[in-house]
Chain A
Amino acid sequence: NAGVTQTPKFQVLKTGQSMTLQCAQDMNHNSMYWYRQDPGMGLRLIYYSASEGTTDKGEVPNGYNVSRLNKREFSLRLESAAPSQTSVYFCASSPTTGDYGYTFGSGTRLTVV
């Protein structure tokens, strides 16, 4: 039982390049989330998907897009990377958007130069 799997684990991009972060869960959860983690700022919500077929903006959505490909997979795309997007990105899932704890993936450390 893998839980939440993220790829890649590390990535270096040049300013203006694009990339997609992949996330998949095998727990039959309905809800999935993307957070970014910056020093001293905790985890900030970028986008979330309450259920298959829906996506909504979080606290810091600018510069990102998401796709809920199916119930298992939720991807995050950076169309034109900027140095301000250097961060650690975590995908998470939960049974619903209700009062449940999240299971997190292992994270993607992204550096934009």
Chain B
Amino acid sequence: GENVEQHPSTLSVQEGDSAVIKCTYSDSASNYFPWYKQELGKRPQLIIDIRSNVGEKKDQRIAVTLNKTAKHFSLHITETQPEDSAVYFCAAHEERALTFGSGTRLQVQP
């Protein structure tokens, strides 16, 4: 089955700086890569996704890049704000369901 590795496990940045979270996946058949944000005590919520026929996608301060050859994808957050503080999960879709990474706790220091 699919295996997704996510790094780093924790990330602390100053407000206004950029944050980058990286994930690798094992199954070359995976074709869909969403990112979720989970605030403390809340449910995971989809923030951006990318499909295998696209190399990059942007939505305001958030962007995701995908390198299918290397089997890795990344989340980029620019101009970070305190409300960006949360746990972020990457995921990869193989045949049956999403496989999630272990999460990155992002702390944005004011």
- Listed in ascending order, the chain A residues whose CB lies under 8 Å from chain B are 33, 35, 40-45, 48, 50, 56, 58-59, 90, 97-107
Cross-chain contact A97 with B43 (CB below 8 angstroms): no
What are the nearest 4 A-B pairs in CB distance? A99-B32, A101-B46, A42-B100, A104-B43
Contact A97 B102 (CB under 8 A): no
B residues at A contact (CB < 8 Å): 1, 4, 6, 9, 31-32, 34, 42-46, 49, 51, 89, 93, 95-103
* B95 cross-chain contacts in A, Cβ below 8 A: 97
Task: Evaluate whether A50 and B96 lie within 8 angstroms (CB atoms) in the complex, with A42-B89, A59-B1, A101-B49 already known.
Answer: yes
Would A99 and B46 count as touching, CB distance under 8 A? no
A30 to chain B, nearest CB (A): 13
Q: Shortest CB–CB separation between residue A3 and chain B, in angstroms?
A: 9
Residues of A within 8 A of B102 (CB): 40-42
The docked-state distance in angstroms from the alpha carbon of A90 to that of B41 is 12
Residues of B close to A48: CB separation below 8 A: 96-97
Q: Which residues of B contact A58 (CB under 8 A)?
A: 96-97
- Cβ contacts under 8 Å, B6 to chain A: 42
Measured in the bound complex, the distance between the Cα atoms of B15 and A88 in whole Å is 31
User: What are 21 pairs between A and B in contact, CB < 8 Å?
Assistant: A33-B97, A35-B100, A40-B102, A40-B103, A42-B6, A42-B102, A42-B103, A43-B100, A44-B100, A45-B98, A50-B96, A56-B96, A58-B96, A97-B97, A98-B32, A98-B93, A99-B32, A99-B51, A102-B46, A102-B98, A106-B42
Contact call A45/B97, Cβ cutoff below 8 A: yes
Residues of A within 8 A of B96 (CB): 48, 50, 56, 58, 97
Given A99-B32, A99-B51, A101-B34, A43 and B44 contact (CB-CB distance below 8 Å):
yes
- Contact of B101 with A42 in the complex, beta carbons under 8 Å: yes
- Chain A proximity of B74: nearest CB distance (Å): 17
What is the minimal beta-carbon distance from A35 to any residue of chain B, in angstroms? 8
A54 CB → nearest B CB, Å: 11
In the assembled complex, how far is the CB of residue B35 from the closest CB belonging to chain A, in whole angstroms? Answer: 9
By a CB distance below 8 angstroms, the chain B residues around A56 are 96
Which residues of the partner chain A approach B93 to less than 8 Å between Cβ atoms?
98-99
